[in-house]
Chains A and B, each alone.
Chain A
Amino acid sequence: MKKLFIVLIILGLFISSLNFALAKEVSIWAQFYTPTKTMQVTPANPYPHQALKVLAERYNKLTGVTVKIVEKPGTQDDRQWILTQMAGGTIPDICWAHVWWVNEDIPKGWWINLDPFLAQPNPYVEGNKRWLDLFLEGPTQAKISPDGHLYVIPIDLVSTLFFYNKDIFDKLGITSPKTFAQFLDIQAKILNAGYVPLASGSFATFGWSWQQLGDMVMWKMEEDIRKLSNLPPTGRIPQEAIAKAVVKGVYNCYDEQYKEWMRLLKDWSKYWTKDWAASGVDFSMKFRRGEVAIFEDGTWRWGMLKKDPLVKFKWAAFFMPTLTKDTSKFAATPPRPAKAIGGATAAQWGVTYMAEKRGVLNEAVDFIRYVTTPKNTSFLVNEVGFFIPNIKGAQMNPDLRPIFNQLKNGGEETIFTYGDKLTEEYGQERNRIFQKYILGQIDLETAVKENQQALEKAAKFMIEKYQWKF
Chain B
Amino acid sequence: MKGIGKNIWRYRYGYLFILPTMILLCIFNYYPAFSGLYHSLFDWAVGGESKFIGLRNFIEIISDKNFHASVINVAKLTIWNLLVPTLIVPIFVAELIYNLHSQRAKYIYRVLVITPMVIPGIVNLLIWQFIYDADYGLLNAILKSIGLGHLSRSWLGDPNTALYAIMAMGFPWIGGTTVLIYLAGLMNIPASVFDAALIDGVVGLKRFFSIDLPLITSQIKLNIILSLIGTIQGYGTMLVLTGGGPGTSTLVPGLYMYQAAFNYGRMGFASAVGVLLFLVILILTIINMRYISSPAEYEAQ
Contact = CB atoms under 8 A, between A and B. Distances in A.
B136 A439 contact: no
B171 to A, nearest CB: 19
Contacts of B259: 428
Interface string B115-159: 000000000010001001111100000000000000001111111
B246 A107 contact: no
B242 A439 contact: no
A462 to B, nearest CB: 13
Contacts of A255: none
Interface string A125-156: 00000000000000000000000000000000
A416 B196 CA distance: 79
A108 B246 contact: no
Contact of B135 (A80, A291, A423, A435): A291
A292 B136 CA distance: 11
A441 B159 CA distance: 8
Interface string B255-266: 000010011111
A77 B129 CA distance: 21
27 contacts: A79-B263, A87-B46, A105-B47, A108-B48, A110-B47, A196-B135, A204-B245, A277-B247, A278-B132, A278-B246, A279-B241, A280-B125, A280-B156, A281-B157, A286-B135, A424-B263, A424-B264, A425-B263, A425-B264, A432-B245, A432-B248, A435-B246, A436-B246, A439-B247, A441-B246, A441-B247, A450-B65
A13 interface: no
Given A108-B45, A275-B154, A432-B66, 9 more contacts: A196-B135, A204-B243, A274-B134, A277-B159, A279-B241, A281-B129, A291-B136, A432-B244, A436-B246
Among A292, A433, A441, max chain B CB count under 10 A is at A441
A433 B251 CA distance: 13
B246 A277 contact: yes
Given A83-B46, A439-B247, A280 B242 contact: yes
Contacts of A431: 245
Using C-beta atoms within 8 Å of the partner chain, give the interface range for chain A: 35 or more
A55 interface: no
Interface of A: 77, 79-80, 83-84, 86-87, 104-105, 107-108, 110, 196, 204, 273-281, 286, 291-292, 423-425, 428-429, 431-433, 435-436, 439, 441, 450
Interface of B: 45-49, 65-66, 125, 129, 132-136, 153-159, 162, 240-249, 259, 262-266
Nearest to A286: B135
B135 A274 contact: yes
Given A277-B157, A280-B156, A435 B241 contact: no
A279 B245 contact: yes
A87 B45 CA distance: 10
B242 A275 contact: no
Contacts of B136: 286, 291
Among A79, A279, A436, max chain B CB count under 10 A is at A279
Given A435-B247, A436-B159, A275 B262 contact: no
Contacts of B159: 277, 435-436, 439, 441
Q: Is the interface of A mostly helix, strand, loop or mixed?
A: helix
Contacts of A425: 263-264, 266
A435 B245 contact: yes
Contacts of B49: 107
Contacts of B242: 278-280
A274 B65 CA distance: 27
Closest 9 A/B residue pairs (Cβ): A279-B243, A277-B246, A275-B157, A274-B134, A436-B247, A275-B134, A278-B157, A275-B154, A278-B156
A281 B65 CA distance: 27
Among B133, B153, B248, B249, max chain A CB count under 10 A is at B133
Given A87-B47, A281-B133, A428-B259, A439 B265 contact: no
A229 to B, nearest CB: 26
Among B48, B155, B241, B247, max chain A CB count under 10 A is at B247
A277 B245 CA distance: 7
Nearest to B48: A108
A450 B248 CA distance: 13
A275 B152 CA distance: 12
Contacts of B135: 196, 273-275, 286, 291-292
B279 to A, nearest CB: 24
B264 A423 contact: yes
A108 B133 contact: no
Contacts of B155: 275
A43 to B, nearest CB: 16
Contacts of B48: 107-108
B130 to A, nearest CB: 10
Nearest to A86: B47
A278 B263 contact: no
A108 B47 contact: yes
A34 to B, nearest CB: 21
Nearest to B260: A425
A274 B153 contact: yes
A278 B157 CA distance: 4
Among A273, A277, A281, A450, max chain B CB count under 10 A is at A277
